[in-house]
Structures are given as C-alpha cells and as structure tokens.
C-alpha cells in the first residue's frame, strides 16, 4: 500500500512523496526506540492503517505496520525527495528521525549495513508538479533527455519543421500553458532482484 503524503497546493505547485520500506530489523529497532521513549508510534496501536487523520496528528514522520515503514503524516513531511539506493533510503529514515522527531535514535546509524542487508523491498516515489508562476518548464536543463526530445518532436510536428529548427520562442509558447511534472522513484525487491532508480520529466 502506498500512502500519499507531503501534498502541498497553491497557485503554482503541488508535490507528494510515497514511502514504503519493508525492513524487519530496522522496523524492530525503530519500534523499540519509540517504545523506550514512551512515544506511541502509529502502526503499533493504530487499528486502521488507513486512518489518515491519526497519521497526520502524529508527532513523528513514520508509521510502522509489522515490518513495513511508511510515512505517517501529510503536512510538511520531511521524507521528501527520493534516495538513489537502498542504503540511502535507510540513512534517510534515520536522518529524518534524528532531527524531526522526539525519539533518540543515537547509535542506530552504526547498524546501517545490517539494516540494508535485511531490507526486503523499497518503493519510494516523489513528484513535483509546477505551473503558474514557476518557470521550471521553460528551462530545458530541467528535462531528462528523453522528455526534452519528446517535447521538441511534438513542437516540430505542430510547426512542420525538424526538432533542430524549433526556436526558443516556439518552445516557450508550447510549454507555457502546460504543467511541468518531475518524478523520481526507487523500486527495490530483493526476492525478484529488481533494483531500479528512475527520473522522468513531462509537460502535461
């Protein structure tokens, strides 16, 4: 299950991050740290893992449901962006807990290798959608090569020219009314051997 989190909407942008890390040893270590601190962690007492209101009211950024670690609240979730590897995912969780929660996770960073070797799966996705006053879509450097090629080919088709002949004015006119979607994902599954980090950009 993926939980939508860190959703922010204003006149010019929206974003979200979804985190699901199946890591038995890490989950147990974190659960113990919270219990020793006397902090009720969502997922220990929560009867309904889809009780979003209870997750958002939590003062910690993660939920633990069995061996699965996910983000626990919507507003201002510090688990932003997407790590590029399983090791970075584990480090990100520990780092965020270290500075944004009332629990002491001191010493757990020395067990990163142990936690990483025990991770069963990771699904970590982040997306930034920008429009309105944001000008990310006008900067070709913000596009992946594949996406930029698609945009130029679409403009060339409309203009009846080659992609190389697309002018800066044509590019700006095409992407101006559209939104810019920047999506990054890490998908890891130890059993199947899947380990994929992907970055894509789109104009919609």
Q: What are the extents of the domains in the chain?
A: 5-128, 132-175
Q: Is the dihedral of CA 70, 74, 76, 80 positive or negative?
A: positive
Q: Residue 128 has which token pair?
A: 């930034």
Provide the pLDDT for residue 50: 57
Provide the pLDDT for residue 72: 73
Torsion, Cα 117 119 121 125, to 10 degrees, reads: -100
Provide the pLDDT for residue 39: 74
3-state secondary structure 133-170: CCCHHHCHHHCCHHHHHHHHHHHHHHHCCCHHHCCHHH
Q: In this structure, how many other beta carbons lie within 10 angstroms of the beta carbon of residue 83?
A: 21
Rounded to an integer, what distance in angstroms lies between the CA atom of residue 124 and that of residue 172?
A: 32
Provide the pLDDT for residue 111: 95
Q: Is the dihedral of CA 145, 146, 152, 153 positive or negative?
A: positive
CB-based burial of residue 183 (10 Å sphere; 0-12 exposed, 13-18 middle, 19+ buried)?
Answer: middle
Provide the pLDDT for residue 110: 92
Q: What is the pLDDT along the chain (204 residues), one digit of tens a residue?
A: 333 333 333 346 777 788 999 999 999 999 888 888 787 765 544 445 455 555 555 567 888 888 999 887 655 667 888 999 999 999 999 998 888 777 788 889 899 999 999 999 999 998 888 877 667 788 898 898 999 999 999 999 999 999 999 999 999 999 988 888 889 999 999 999 999 999 998 888
Provide the pLDDT for residue 135: 74
Work out whether strand 13-22 and strand 121-130 pair parallel, antiparallel, or are unpaired.
antiparallel
Provide the pLDDT for residue 75: 54
**With contact defined as beta carbons under 8 Å apart, do 189 and 121 qualify?**
yes
Provide the pLDDT for residue 73: 60
Q: What is the pTM of this model?
A: 0.75
């Amino acid at each position: 299950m993926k939980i939508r989190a860190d959703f922010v909407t204003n006149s010019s942008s929206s974003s979200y991050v979804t985190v699901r890390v199946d890591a038995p040893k890490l989950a147990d270590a974190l659960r113990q740290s919270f219990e020793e601190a006397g902090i009720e962690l969502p997922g220990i007492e929560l009867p309904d893992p889809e009780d979003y209101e209870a997750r958002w009211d939590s003062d910690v950024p993660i939920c633990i449901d069995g061996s699965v670690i996910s983000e626990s609240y919507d507003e201002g979730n510090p688990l932003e962006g997407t790590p590029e590897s399983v090791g970075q995912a584990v480090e990100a969780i520990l780092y965020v807990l270290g500075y944004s929660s009332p629990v002491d996770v001191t010493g757990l960073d020395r067990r990163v290798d142990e936690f990483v070797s025990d991770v069963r799966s990771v699904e970590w996705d982040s997306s930034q959608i920008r429009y309105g006053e944001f000008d990310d879509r006008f900067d070709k450097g913000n596009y992946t090569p594949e996406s930029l090629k698609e945009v130029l080919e679409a403009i060339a088709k409309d203009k009846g020219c080659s992609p190389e002949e697309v002018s800066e004015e044509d590019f700006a006119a095409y992407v101006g009314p559209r939104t810019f979607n920047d999506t990054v994902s890490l998908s890891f599954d130890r059993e199947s051997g899947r380990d994929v980090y992907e970055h894509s950009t789109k104009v919609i």
